Structure 1
Amino acid sequence: MEHTAFIGVGSNLGPREVQLRQALQWIEEEIGTLIRASNIYQTSPWGGIDQPDYLNQVWQIRTGLGPFHLMTALLELEKRANRERLQRWGARTLDLDLLFYDDYRIRTAFLTLPHPQIQNRNFVLVPLAEIAPDWLHPVLGKTAAELAAKSPDEEIVRIWAGN
């Protein structure tokens, strides 16, 4: 059975755009089919840590993997991209966040769906609203466009000039 998942993608170390494109290639080769990809956005780091700006995207994919297998596969791709988890919200070569998986609601130590911070992060909301403005958050009952319009996050998200 095929499922729809949204993945938030980011990189702020090394060749950022190359890493986003490589991760998308891995996704398509090993995990599922790309339905839509947002523009690439340049964003300030979130979480108050001094570090380089991020490039961020949101991808909508179709996959046959279950949510826990998908999350495991995303973590493996981060490792392949040499991600090191040295500091919470710290700099990273690749960050792959499972935002939504169909309309599943899951809360475990390993995986929480929908991702619990979507509504507070412009770097997710802006690209999500770009590709799926009518996607309904299964817990909050608001569309991606509504969440983006009412976001409490004041960080500026701008389309990256390299698009």
Structure 2
Amino acid sequence: MTRARYALALGSNRPLSASLPPRALAAAAAQALGQPPLRLIAISPLMTSRPLGPSQRLYINAAAIVEADLPPPALLAHLKALERRFGRRGGRRWGARTLDLDIILWSGGAWASRTLQVPHRAFRERRFVLAPLAQIAPAWRDPATGLTIRHILARTSRSKPVDRTGKRL
């Protein structure tokens, strides 16, 4: 396989220890993304966002661009091993976690298997993914829509229509 580029999302909202709160944990994870078999090309600033689902803790989010001689499933296995190294354990969907690493895009276009879909299924609706990614890869195009990250982010910023009760349509 030739060297591929990947856009990754990283997040943390649970401390690993008193000395590794989410912000420090996310920074340490970003450093780990620069170790073989990966090569870190760019990392966004760390940002704070509200959680999805039942978790009440704020998230620290960032995006990274890495290069690797790995196909998407092998990269996913590497990222899951990094999550475990940083204290991630299985648990409730959308619950608090020490580290969450997701493949958002890759230079090969689209990938689909039973365990992995690239582009990430929900990235187009998630400002906490798009805002950091737009800082380091604003011109990267979504292979499904042809839109750049900058354009997709702008679409999430637009006000959405609401019905008479205030519920979004």
TM-score bucket (shorter structure)? 0.7 to 0.9
For residues 2-151 of structure 1, what are the structure 2 equivalents within 5 Å? 2-14=3-15, 15-47=21-53, 49-151=54-156
The more displaced of 115-124 and 96-105 is 96-105
Contact 1:3/1:64, CA 8 A, preserved across alignment: yes
- Large movers: runs of 4+ above 6 Å: none
Relative distance call for 1:69 and 1:129 in structure 2 (3 A) is same
Cα RMSD after superposing both structures: 1.6
Amino acid of the residue matched to residue 8 of structure 1? A
TM-score, normalising length from structure 2? 0.85
TM-score, normalising length from structure 1? 0.88
Contact 1:12/1:93, CA 8 A, preserved across alignment: yes
Q: Which has the higher contact order (CA 8 A, sep 6+)?
A: 1
Show structure 2 runs of 5+ residues with no match: 16-20, 160-169
**C-alpha separation in 2, matches of 1:8 and 1:153:** 22
Identity in percent? 33
How far is 1:19 from its partner?
1.3
Contact 1:122/1:153, CA 8 A, preserved across alignment: no
How far is 1:50 from its partner?
3.5
Q: Classify the secondary structure of the residue corresponding to 2:95.
A: coil
